[in-house]
Amino acid sequence: MNERKRVADKARSSEENRQRTYLLSAQTVGAKALAPGLYLVATPIGNLADMTLRGLETLAAADLIACEDTRVTRRLLDHYGITRPLRPYHDHNAATARPKILGRLAEGAAIALVADAGTPLISDPGYKLVREAQAAGHRVTAIPGASAVLAAVATSGLPTDRFFFEGFLPAKPIARRARIAQLAAVPATLVLFESGPRLVEALADLAAGLGAREAAICRELTKMHEEVRRGELATLAAAYAQGAELRGEIVIVVAPPEQAVSTVEDVDTLLRQALRAGSLKDAVRAVAEATGRARRDVYQRALVLAKSCNPPED
């Protein structure tokens, strides 16, 4: 009996290893073994060609792939010739599925977690799983890749040096308007997700709550019907209200609030602090960027302050 079991286990192990492959340009590629742990694998947000080589290697080598919708993930795996076991992990079954995944991790398994599209945990389930896996001492590794947030920010034509990801606004109007009022003072480009049926109402509320800010509507990014439409919030709301209801994934990117014109006293205070920390040139650049004032004006104030701080000797 033991010999029969040993032969069966060996055959099963050989079959599993044989299946740890993926297709690349019609060529079968063997995947290297993974160390035990949880792997957060980013998947394409539309265009399947955006799957990274490291992501393919990880999915092909994983003992198990936890995913939101097995049908969605199966389409990706079939495209790349990957045949690994799938298990659903989503908001509705997380409480019961999470202990089972943690149990497999405790046994030394390498498990990949994927969302239907993009990077896991970004407006998708997985946070509690990552926390509990880390608390149990398991290795958690990010396999980065496609991100609707970064793609939208990059193509929006709006400031990219600082942005705030809000995710989905509340669906109910009163709660949505209250949240927009809280976002009004955020000194950064805003990035929001929205659905097609709610886009017009959301844009109208954003225009009322944020004022005449520039925005970009990024729809179906990386897909055949990709669209990036730019304009002021109110103009975009009116334009979309005239058309048919939109479908697909939508990201709204909104410009940050205009910086208030600083007083001379404010500029002087910032300059004194900056001059104590660095050179005159660095101080002028930093204060000009922080206040929005012309660099030549800030330079003139810096010369006056530098002279007053270092009066000539008699």
Q: Which neighbouring-strand residues pair with 165?
A: 191
Q: Do domains 13-146 and 149-254 have the same CATH topology?
A: no
What is the pTM for the complete model shown? 0.75
Amino acid at site 108: G
- Beta strands 250-254 and 140-143 are unpaired
Longest dimension (CA), the chain: 104
CATH architecture of 149-254: 2-Layer Sandwich (3.30)
Torsion (CA) 73, 77, 79, 81 in degrees, nearest 10: -170
**120 class by beta-carbon count within 10 Å (0-12 exposed, 13-18 middle, 19+ buried):** buried
Domain boundaries, the chain: 13-146, 149-254, 264-309
CA distance 251 to 192: 6
Give the pLDDT of the chain (314 residues) as one tens digit per residue.
Answer: 566 656 455 545 554 555 899 888 888 888 899 999 999 999 999 999 999 999 999 999 999 999 999 999 999 999 999 999 999 999 899 999 999 999 999 999 999 999 999 999 988 889 999 999 999 999 999 999 999 999 999 999 999 989 999 999 999 999 999 999 999 989 899 999 999 999 999 999 999 999 999 999 999 999 998 999 999 999 999 999 998 778 888 999 999 987 544 566 677 888 887 877 778 888 888 887 777 677 888 888 888 887 776 544 44
Report the sign of the C-alpha dihedral through residues 219, 224, 230, 234, in that order.
negative
pLDDT digits (tens, 9 = 90+) for 31-50: 899 999 999 999 999 999 99
Those residues whose C-beta lies under 8 Å from the C-beta of residue 1, and which sit 6 or more positions away, are none
pLDDT digits (tens, 9 = 90+) for 74-93: 999 999 999 999 999 998 99
Q: Which CATH superfamily is domain 13-146 in?
A: Tetrapyrrole methylase, N-terminal domain (3.40.1010.10)
